[in-house]
Amino acid sequence: MDDQTQTELEAAAFRRLREHLMQDRTDVQNIDMMNLAGFCRNCLSRWYQEAANARGIEMDKMEAREIFYGMTMDEWKSRYQTDASPEQQEAFKKAHAAHE
């Protein structure tokens, strides 16, 4: 497989992951993703921002999130985000204690 085809396939897989998280599974909370997988939608948007910045494209965190989420964070939160339960918060603390 040539490099261009590999890049196109990787980009297609990323777009499908984004679509899955932003349209098909809006019920899955970021804290649950962090607790189970160690990354969430915000991480994906940050990686997008970092890739843009590495290529000389100025983009801040909120711009990257709006591109990734397809809406502002305030809009996403009001539509889909729920408050984290005490159990979710405790699991987060345990899962990420080594990162502090």
pLDDT digits (tens, 9 = 90+) for 33-87: 999 998 999 999 999 999 999 999 999 999 999 999 999 999 999 999 999 999 9
What phi and psi, each to the nearest 5 degrees, are found at residue 86?
A: -55, -35
pLDDT at 99 over 60: no
Query: What is the number of structural domains in the chain?
Result: 1
Q: pLDDT category, 94, cuts 50, 70, 90?
A: confident
Judge whether residue 19 has pLDDT over 70. Answer: yes
- What range does the domain containing 16 cover? 12-95
Note whether residue 17 is domain-resident.
yes
| Domain assignment of residue 20, yes or no | yes
The CATH number linked to 30 is: 1.10.3340.10
Query: Can you tell me which residue has the tokens 């649950």?
Result: 32
Nearest to 77 by CA among 85, 66, 64: 66
Is residue 3, in this structure, part of any structural domain at all? no
Whether pLDDT at 95 is above 90? no
- pTM (2 decimals)? 0.86
d(CA 63, CA 29): 21
Q: Tokens 């964070």 map to which residue? A: 73
- Structural domain contains residue 6: no
- Within a domain: 4: no
58 inside domain: yes
Considering the domain boundaries, does residue 74 fall inside one?
yes
Q: Say what the pLDDT of residue 96 is.
A: 77
Q: Which long-range contacts (CB under 8 A, 24 or more apart) does 41-46 make?
A: 41/68, 41/69, 44/17, 44/18, 44/68, 45/69
Contact 22, 69 (CB under 8 A): yes
Within 13 Å and on the Cβ side, how many CA atoms surround 17? Answer: 12
Q: Which two tokens stand for residue 39?
A: 């990354």
- Domain annotation covers residue 81: yes
